[in-house]
Every structure is written in structure tokens, then in C-alpha cells.
Amino acid sequence: MPRSLFIFIFLILHQFEKIEAQNSLGAIGQWREQYNNKSVQALLKGDKIYGATTHQIFSIDSKKNVELIGKSNGLNEIGIAAMAWDDLNQQLVIAYKNSNIDIIKGDNIYNINDIVVSNLYANKKINDIKILNQWALLSTNFGVVVVDLVKHEIKDTWFPNNNRQAMVTYQTALTKDSLYAITEEGLYSVAIKNNWINLNGWNALTNYNNLGLNKISSNGKTVLAYNKHLLYQLPSTTSIYSTNASIQHVNRTSTGTILLTLTYTNNGAIIKLNADKSTSVLIDSTQLINPIASLEDQNELWVADSSRGLLLNNSSNQWITLDGPSDYIRGKSFINETGLLAPFYGNAFGFAAYTSSGWKNYTKNNSINLPNCNAGTIDPKDQSWWLTTSTGLVHFQPNTIAIENSLPSNTIGDYKDIQFSSDGKLWVLQDQQGLLQKKDNGWNSYLVPNSFIKKGLSQMLVSKQGQVWMIAPQNQGLYLYQSTQVYNTEFWKQLTTAKSNGNLPSSHVTSLVEDLEGAIWVGTDNGIGIFNCGDISKEICDAYLPPIKNTNGFVGLLFQKETVNCMAVDGANRKWIGTNNGTWLLSADGREIIEHFTKSNSPLPSDTLLQILIDPNQGEVFFNTNTEMVSYKGTATAGAKTQNQIAIYPNPVGPEYHGPIAFKGLVENAMVKITDLNGRLVFETRALGGQAIWNGKTFEGQKVASGIYLVLVRDDAGNEKGVGKLVITSGQ
């Protein structure tokens, strides 16, 4: 059965100077990709211009409207290996790196997973796709797989060696009467009759065996084959073009022009090979870093650059923004009501910021590269950005676009984590040293005791009680520093697995989070411990290990034998848990599983979670995995301090809408009553933090009639009240 394809991406065109794809926020329960789309892997011309980034597809129509297509709106996988346009049936054929296949036809997506589930061949990699009338010819590492594009099923497998033995096939090319295949054993051809071939009729073209050919393309009767430096037009064995650069892509346009995509050591270019074998440079090396494909469409030239993205050349050069961070996010991100701050860390410099207007990337300041940033936070007073680097801090004022380098000390050790405490002080964790606190214009140091291991400090949490929880290096449990913000005694303590000294489920601590009631949830490689500690200079600070009844009836511990990589708390005090087996939403006490998302049942690109962040206003949950980031519109938001206007979405509810109805801007845990205009109670529910959800049905499960409904809100004390109106035009 086909899967429906929904498009949530739209184009913003500013005076025809800048093309951007923006990822609009959907309804509750919907997902959207937050992918790094800087690397464009392929281009082709169909009913639109189509391209592939590392993990998703994009299309651009004649009006320059951009659509992004990923797992959130229909695709079955991430990791694009190849694609082709079927002009006869008006559909896009996509092959993935795991050998799965999707076919997009209109609003439907058809999946063909036969190669994925087959055990016939060890190496099932798909290298290329060509279209032969109603057939898609997939060049694989075992032969040419033939897909029926009408029935959406695999028809046959062709083997150029005529003996049905696996043969790595890199690419095929078609003329009116012949099919060519470049393989690991050389170049082969076979005659095409009635859109089919004689299965044992392949011929080895041994004249080309010593030319090192590994790519091939065709247009009409012309067949072009090439290697890294030489281009041939068959049947000649004499090259028509040679270069010291690397030939990445060759295509012949409808007008007969040969376009060559070239890369040099540190850049690339697009050139045109003229009829007299002279060349003309269309886009020079000052523009391109690593071009891998080009496409001419009327008077426009499109270029896929795996390092810079998508370039459109018409009257000028124009880089098209496909939204998303410009690199993988491997630092510790931070989110609040103003936006998401995401350091790249790893091998990338700078950071990205996500707001309601989309992603913006910061890699340079006045042409100077920003440093490698580890962790970020946002000042609650002026909303400025702070980031840690190996040598100090970067203080970024977005409004003034100015960077202030702040050096808290000159001691040895990278600056790792950073956080503002509830009283507005800035705390920094420095490896090999301990804690730094910015107070007014000065810095105070709180060094880890000499009896503690110092090298390897990387993550901390400053609690509302002024206690700083740190993951101890070398699997030594936790370090806990108590300031005098709440308690009178300054104190250091190490927490371990021993009872009366931490009671951790494991000494290998992996994550920390504080919930809305002030409890500290500690993730380990053996589940979760929950702390509610007072003055640690006087009281025992032990973790509570919540018992959970498993499906088999046995009682175990919360996430026992599971590595808890990350955790987050939503507006209803529920816990999102990230593991190596997907992400889980638990009730506030952790005893009930509400959701469990994996890459198999959701648009998660990977089951390995690195960090989870929650937008307090929108309830959007961001999942950063070890591949890419995606987000999910959750059901809980932060509660409002006072009850003002009730935001209702959608309103009115039209006949085309079948999702949940959300009431936002509510005080925490508010009671929500829905009545008709006569005052008859239709439904009531509790807010999850600051948002309540209704499915548009009565207590008895019947869909309500069309009409106007009142939404009545109050807190438990009856002090905060509000009234809203909801119009339903899709009822009975």
C-alpha cells in the first residue's frame, strides 16, 4: 500500500534575491527534519528539479518553490544512494544506502524492500539508477536489478557476465537499441529489443579494458564513458578530453552540449566542452569547493556541491538555502523560549541557532573563523549567547553581531559545560580544575578536591538548590558541590554505588536532568536513579531506584541494563529518555510508558540519541541523534504564570482536519471544560503543563456536532480563569 506524502515545507522568496526553504511547525504529533542539508549529493530534471542531500530529497518547481521530503512526510529511510526520474509514469525512484527503494508518484510513496530483506547476496549496495521505459535498472554490487515501474515490484536481475554470478555493476547507459554496463570486470553491452534484453546476450567490450573506465552516461545515440582524468565518446578508444583535475560528472544536454563537473585539490569548476573540443568555463573555482553534479535547465545551470550546497547560475550565482544547521551537532545544545543554541563541536567550528524564523549558522565573525564550540547556554536576562571553547568562552550578542571573548582563568584545562543558575549566576565547568562562577564582573573558582580524579570533567547540572552535579571522570560516579545559595555549608561529596553514599545503579553516569519538582534524575549504563537531597554536609544523599513491572510480570528497575544517553523534562514534568534503542516518554513518576519512538516506527533517523531538548512554549521536542536531528510536536508545554488569552489550534476546525485540538497558554495543570452554548458539558480534561489536548469527541467517544463551543479554564484554587471560543465545522 502507498504511504501518503504530506509537504510542510514552503519557499520564502525575498525580492528574487534569496531562495530559502523553511520548515513550518506542524500540528501535535507531527515530525519535521532538522537536517544538515549543506551537502547536495545528486541532481536530476523531472517534472521539477530534484536533488538529494545526505538524508532527504528536495524539489524546486518553475516558480522556485522548494519542497523537502524526508521520513517525516513519507520516505521510509534516510541515506540517499541514487535516484532517477521516470518520465513515462511521472514518478521519482529513490534508492537508499541500505538498498531499500521508494517510488514517489503524486501524493503516494510505494516501498520496495525485496533487496533489503533478501539474503542471496552479501553486498547489496545500489550504485546507480537508469530508466528504460517502464523499467528501472538498478546497478548494484551483484548485478542489474529490474524494477517494474507500473506494478512497483522487482521483475528480474540481469548479470552482464551471462552466468548469473554476482558482478559489481557501477553504472548503466542507454541508447535506442543498446544497454551498456560498466562493471568491476570492464565494459559490457547488450542489444535492446522490445524494451527487453536477451539475458545471455551480453558482450564484453574488451577494447576498453585498459582504459580504467568507471562511469558512463548517454544522450540519444551518444555514449560517454570516463575515468578520473579522461573522457571517451564510444565507440572511439581515443579520449576527447583530458584533465589533471578529477572528473566527477559528465552529462550531455538536449542541445548537444557536454557539461563536465571537475574537482581540483581544494575547489572545483563546471566547464563546457565545445564541438571543436575547446572548453569554456561556466562556473570557476572561486565559487565551488566540491561539485559532484551539474544540470542545465533552459537558461539556468544548477550545481550540486557536497561542501557548500546547491548553486543556481542564471544571470548571477545564487546559493540556495535548504534550511538546517550547516554541520552535524555534536556539542551540548541549549533551548529556552527564545530559541535553540547548538554548538557543532567535533570537526566543525562555530554553532547554529534555531528560532521561529528557521536555522542560522555562525561559523565566522568578520571573516575570522569562530573556534570549536563545546557547549552553549542563553542568558535569561538579556538573551545573549554563551559558548565554551577549549581556551575560554565566547559571548555572542545577536542584536549587535559582536563577539566578546571572556577568559575566566589561565589555568590548564578545556572549558566544557556552561549553565546559568536559578539566581542568575553563570557557572562553567573546566576540565582538570573544577567550577568557575561569574559574579558581577569577576570570577570565583571552586576547585575539585585533590582526592578526586580531575581529568575528564565534561558535564554538569546546576540545581535550583545551588548544588552542582558533575559526572565524575573514569566511571567514578558523581561529584556534588554544594554552594551557599540555599544551605549554609559549602561542601564537596563524591557519590558512588554504595548505599548511604549515593546508591547509584552504576558508577558509569551518562546523563543528568532536574525535573519540575527539583528531583535530580541520573542516567547510567544500567538505568536511572532519582535524587531528592537536602544539605549534603549533614544528610545522606542516596538515589531512589524506581521499581518497574516488566511485561513478563517480573519487577525490575527503571531502564535496568539500558544506557541512558540523555534525558529531558517537558511542561507536564514527564520524562523523555534517550537510549541506544530509541527514545521513550514516561509519566512524571516514570512508572508509565506513554511513547516509544524508534527509527522503525517514527521519523527518527537513528536509535542512538545524543541529546533531547524541549521548546517550553511550543512543546516541540528536538531529538539529536548520532546521525541527524529531528523534532516532534509534543502534547505538553510550560505552564503560564497567569491565565491570559487562550490560544486554540486549529480554530475553526474544518472538515479536512482530523488531528487533535490544542489549547495553549494555560496555567500549569489547569482544568479545561468544553461546553456548548447552552452550557452543557461536552468534555473536560487537565492541561499537560500549559497545554490541553482534545480529540473533538464527547465523553462517550462520539464526534461533536458542528457549532460554537466555549472553552472554560481555571486552576485548582479558582484564581486563574479564562474563556475561549472554538468553532467546529467538521462535526456531525
Per-residue model confidence as pLDDT tens digits over 221-271: 899 999 999 999 999 999 999 999 999 999 887 777 899 999 999 999 999
Q: What CA–CA distances, in Å, run from 46 to 179, 415, 533?
A: 22, 50, 63
Report the distance separating Cα 157 and Cα 124, nearest Å: 12
Domain contains 153 = no
Q: Report the C-alpha gap between 713 and 673 in whole angstroms.
A: 7
In this predicted structure, what is the pLDDT of residue 82? 97
Range of the domain at 672: 647-728
pTM: 0.89
Distances (CA, A) of 177 to 201, 220, 615: 13, 10, 59
Considering the domain boundaries, does residue 119 fall inside one? Answer: no
Asked if residue 679 is part of any domain, the answer here is yes
Distance between CA atoms of residues 49 and 314, nearest Å: 15
Does residue 464 carry a pLDDT above 80?
yes
pLDDT at 8 over 60: no
Question: What pLDDT sits at residue 24?
Answer: 63
Predicted local distance difference test score (pLDDT) of residue 717: 80
Sheet holding 101-105, edge to edge: 3-4, 108-112, 101-105, 91-96, 80-86
pLDDT band at 554 (very low <50, low <70, confident <90, very high): low
Closest CA to 346 of 323, 373, 385, 319: 373
Q: Looking at beta carbons, which pairs linking 584-593 to residues 24 or more positions away fall under 8 Å?
A: 585/634, 588/515, 589/546, 590/528, 590/530, 590/546, 590/548, 590/558, 591/546, 591/548
pLDDT tens digits, residue range 603-633? 999 999 999 999 999 999 999 999 999 999 9
Per-residue confidence (pLDDT) for residue 405, from 0 to 100: 72
Residue pair 636/610 in contact by the 8 Å Cβ criterion: no
Q: Which is more confidently placed, 399 or 18? A: 399
pLDDT of res. 379: 96
State the Cα–Cα distance between residues 170 and 251, nearest whole angstrom.
16
pLDDT, mean of residues 88-98? 97
Asked whether 587 and 581 are in contact (CB, 8 A), the reply is: no
Q: How far apart are alpha carbons 57 and 51 in whole angstroms?
A: 6
What's the pLDDT score for residue 476? 97
CA 304 to centroid of chain Cα atoms = 20
Give 292-329 pLDDT, tens digit per residue: 999 998 889 999 999 899 999 988 889 988 889 999 99
350 dihedral zone (left: phi>0; alpha: psi -120 to 50; beta): left
pLDDT for the residue 551 = 60
pLDDT-based confidence at 406, cuts 50/70/90? Answer: confident
Please report whether residue 682 resides in a domain.
Answer: yes
Per-residue pLDDT, 21: 54
d(CA 161, CA 621): 52
pLDDT reported for residue 112: 98
Is the pLDDT confidence value at 373 over 50?
yes
d(CA 619, CA 416): 28
Cβ contact 351:341 at 8 Å: yes
Number of domains in the chain: 1
Task: Report if residue 524 sits inside a domain.
Answer: no
Q: Give domain status of residue 688, yes or no.
A: yes
User: Percentage of the chain surpassing pLDDT 70?
Assistant: 95
Which pLDDT belongs to residue 3? 45
pLDDT, tens digit, 9 for 90 and up, residues 556-567: 889 999 999 999
Within-domain flag for 700 = yes
Q: Could you read off the pLDDT of 413-434 as tens digits, one per residue? A: 999 999 999 999 999 999 999 9
> Which of 415-424, 653-662, 679-688 is predicted with the least confidence, judged by mean pLDDT?
653-662
* CATH number of the domain to which 668 belongs: 2.60.40.3080
Do residues 18 and 60 lie in contact, with contact meaning Cβ atoms separated by under 8 Å?
Answer: no
Nearest to 59 by CA among 79, 73, 44: 44
Higher-pLDDT residue of 364, 605: 605
- 52 vs 43: CA distance, rounded Å: 7
Round the average pLDDT of the chain to a whole number and report it.
91
**CA–CA separation, 12 and 14 (whole Å):** 6
Task: Tell me what pLDDT residue 14 has.
Answer: 28
In whole angstroms, what is the distance from residue 695 CA to residue 663 CA? 11
**Cα angle at 447 between 446 and 453, to 5 degrees?**
145
Question: What confidence score (pLDDT) does residue 364 get?
Answer: 85
Residue 212 domain-assigned?
Answer: no
pLDDT number for residue 12: 26
In this prediction, what percent of the chain has a pLDDT beyond 90? 78
Q: How confident is the model at residue 27 (pLDDT cuts 50, 70, 90)?
A: confident
* CA 396 – CA 362 distance, rounded (Å): 10
